[in-house]
Structure 1
Amino acid sequence: MPEAISQDAPLDCQDVRRTRSQQIARGVLGGVLVLLGIFTLHDFLPALVWAVIFAIASWPLYRRATRRWPPGRHNLALPLLFTAGIALVFLVPLSLIAFEAANEAQGVLVWMEHARHTGVPVPAWVHRLPAGSAAASTWWTQHLSNPDDATDLFANIRSGRGLRMTRQLGSQVAHRSTLFAFSIITLFFLFREGATVTAQMLTVSRRAFGTRGERIGRQMVASVHGTVDGLVLVGLGEGVILGIAYAIAGAPHPTLFGVVTAVAAMIPFCAVIAIGLASLLVLAQGSTIAGIILFVFGMIVVFCSDHFIRPILIGGATKLPFLWVLLGILGGVEVWGLLGLFLGPAIMAALILLWREWTDPTEDALDT
């Protein structure tokens, strides 16, 4: 009997070693496949991340809709409706900006051609500037009033260079349009299979990281919700309020400036650029008091939004100090571009949660 045990023991050790080697081999194979998948899809990864952000941001509303109108066998109506709605949120403002830009570009080209042949006299509004009117008038006289000087100033804008710029712009528009279409298609499938994907992600998180991994995931999702409320919704509100102010002050193209302000306001402090440009245009029209009032009112709106409303919405959802929210937004935009608006706060929220758990003395008692 002892001999049988001694003969079986090496077999058990061999089985354990074989199992461990197989686990290591599966881990290496899985890691290699993940890297290959990332390399294969690296051009489409931003589109996938945008689709996930859109899905997370609109998921609570989608869940309420599914509870009110349960999906049928094929589950197509609600995913299509929500996907189309999110697509229109982006397509309508972009179409408006493209339409206005095309109209303005045509006018600019006509004005430049006229300037090269006849010159451009100093307009009356230059003399009405509250400061620097003499310097501006002198510069205008030296560079634009004389046709030869105007031709030299616009010499860099030639048909060949313009054609190359047009081709590059067309290529970028086609590339961005493809990524946007891919994001919308991915978003449809996320809506359709959202419950299954969420359950699978929770299962993977528990198996890989335990309950802490699930808490980190939920914290990152909450940060996306808070960021959408604090950046996107507040930015849209600023755009609407300031768009009305632009119209009252007599700024040119108030709707276009309102859209630009709404987009710029999604990044803290960037709305100041749009407000300053609109105020300068109002000043250039001779409405000095209206331009100053518009700028002051815009600064008040930006100050209240960035210092009171956004900290409550973002910090309340993530329990994250607004300083870290601001650092996450600015650092995320610097590294990731527009995706950083959402990735930055999500990363900061996860780091702060880990820090709080690691510095909480009760965690040691729970682990023991």
Structure 2
Amino acid sequence: MPAVPADPALRRTAMIQPNHSPSEQEKDAKRLQRAASAVLYTALVAVALWTMRTFIPAVVWAAVIAIALWPAFGWLERRPWLGKHKLLLAFSVTAAVGLLFVVPFAIVATEAGREARDMIHWFQDVLRSGLPMPDWLNRLPTGSRQIASWWTENLAMPLESSPAVQKLHGANFIAMTRHFGSRVAHGLIVFGFMLVTLFFIFHAGSKLGEQLLAGSRRAFGSEGATLARRMADSVRCTVVGLVVVGLGEGALLGIAYGIAGVPHATLLGMLTAIAAMLPFCAPIVFLGSALWLAAQGSMVAAIGVAVFGLVVVFVAEHFVRPVLIGGSTRLPFLLVLFGILGGAETFGLLGLFIGPALMTILVVLWTDWVR
């Protein structure tokens, strides 16, 4: 029991003062308030995310690009002259990112427009007279008879009366065209909002990164801040691995196209680089080029392009890309592969970067659990 003061005046003062220790009812009320606040905050965040659900892909793309470029942007931001003009710096970097995406597609569209007239004439001739079967198909060791029979029944005759082409009637073609046009329009809208979001992220500068780390540290402790850094490193390494390997494959195969005599070798090398940024998509381009060479009768060049492309893709996909993606984040090769392919299957193109980050979380949690 507390000691009672000997002085009567002090005794009366102690009796008047209330007991400041919280009662059980006050503790229960505070717990209820905290639970209600958590429910309210969760509901508000859910409603806000649902409201901006259409623009979430643009925000995530902007975050991925910002994470990948953050070291370079931070270096520019620390320069004396650029640091005083953050608005101009953010606009310049965002414009450079936009041009990096727009210029290759503009080149592809320009080249396609130049070749469109010849392609239309070729397609009209094929509709009237059919597509002759290449001679090399008759020299195949197996299956040449079956392939020749199918080709004669479906492609050698005028394609206007071909059973294979009649299935692609006007209604289906119009529906496919509308669907493709809507997807292109949606992609352009997402791209525009991505650039706007990226500009504001860069304009916020290093303060935004500090706030995100402080929020992670306050919500999850020091482990949460460390995990956020590891996830950012994983996303950055994934972007570097995909982009650098894609550009390398495109450059090597572009040289091979030029040596083999494939027309528009530079354009095809650019398309190969874009396709190589997606796992196992580069063979679509270089095998198509090899088939074109074979159809022209250049069997040696076709085999050379196909073999060289398969070697380049095998080395890049199985050795270079896993090292670039998993080296800094210490991810095993199998988890890198699962993260890229599983993420792409689950989340689309964004999954290429989200997947390895999720695998990084898995490795960190496992390491902390067995420690």
Superposed pair shares fold, TM > 0.5: yes
Query: Match for 1:84: what amino acid?
Result: A
Q: Which moved more, 1:5-14 or 1:107-116?
A: 5-14
Once residues 140 and 79 of structure 2 are traced to their aligned partners in structure 1, the CA distance between those partners, rounded to angstroms, is: 59
Give the counterpart letter for 2:336 in structure 1.
V
Partner of 1:20: 31
Task: Compute the displacement of 1:353 (Å).
Answer: 1.0
For residues 354 and 202 of structure 1, do their structure 2 counterparts lie closer, same or farther at Cα, with a shift above 3 Å needed?
same
2:218 to 201, 204, 207: 207
The partner residue of 1:53 within 59, 64, 67 is 64
1:320 aligns with 2:355: no
In structure 1, distance between residues paired with 2:57 and 2:279: 22
Deviations 1:315-339 (A, max 9, x none): 2210111211111111100100110
With over 3 angstroms needed to count, the CA separation of the structure-2 counterparts of 1:91 and 1:4, relative to structure 1, is: farther
**Which stretch shifts more, 87-96 or 254-263?**
254-263
Tell me how far 1:88 sits from its aligned partner.
1.3
How far is 1:252 from its partner?
3.6
* Contact 2:134–2:295 under 8 Å retained in 1: no
Query: What is the CA deviation profile of residues 176-227 of structure 1, one whole-angstrom value per residue up to 9, with x for unaligned ones?
Result: 1000000010000101103221111111111111000011001001111211
* Displacement of 1:73: 5.5
Task: Decide whether aligned partners of structure 1 residues 129 and 259 sit closer, same or farther in structure 2, where only a CA change above 3 A counts.
Answer: farther
1:223 equivalent to 2:240? Answer: no
Per the alignment, residue 49 of structure 2 pairs with 38
The aligned counterpart of 2:270 is 259
Cα contact 2:128–2:160 (8 A) shared by 1? no
* 2:156 corresponds to: 145
Aligned pairs (5 A) from 1:273-284 = 273-284=284-295
Offset at 1:100? 4.2
- Residue 174 of structure 1, CA deviation: 1.0
Displacement of 1:291: 1.3
Structure 1 window deviating more from structure 2 (58-67 vs 160-169): it is 160-169
Contact 2:76 2:83 in 1 (8 A): no
* Residues 128, 284 of structure 1: 8 Å contact kept: no
Q: CA deviation at 1:70?
A: 4.2
Report which stretch shifted further, 9-18 or 190-199.
Answer: 9-18
- One-letter amino acid of the counterpart of residue 249, structure 1: A
Q: Does 1:172 align with 2:172?
A: no
Change (3 A) 1:151 1:302: closer
The question of whether the paired residues in 1 share the 8 Å contact of 2:74 and 2:206 is answered with: no
- Correspondence 1:305 to 2:316: yes
Q: Percent identity?
A: 46
Query: Given the alignment of the two structures, is residue 244 of structure 1 paired with residue 255 of structure 2, yes or no?
Result: yes
Q: Deviations along 1:280-304, whole A, 9 cap, x unmatched? A: 2222211111111212211221222
Structure with max Cα Rg: 2
Where does the alignment leave 5 or more consecutive residues of structure 2 unmatched?
Answer: 1-10
The TM-score normalised by the length of structure 2 is 0.87
Aligned-pair Cα RMSD in Å: 2.7
- Structure-2 change in CA distance of 1:149 and 1:64 (3 Å): closer
1:54 positional shift: 0.3
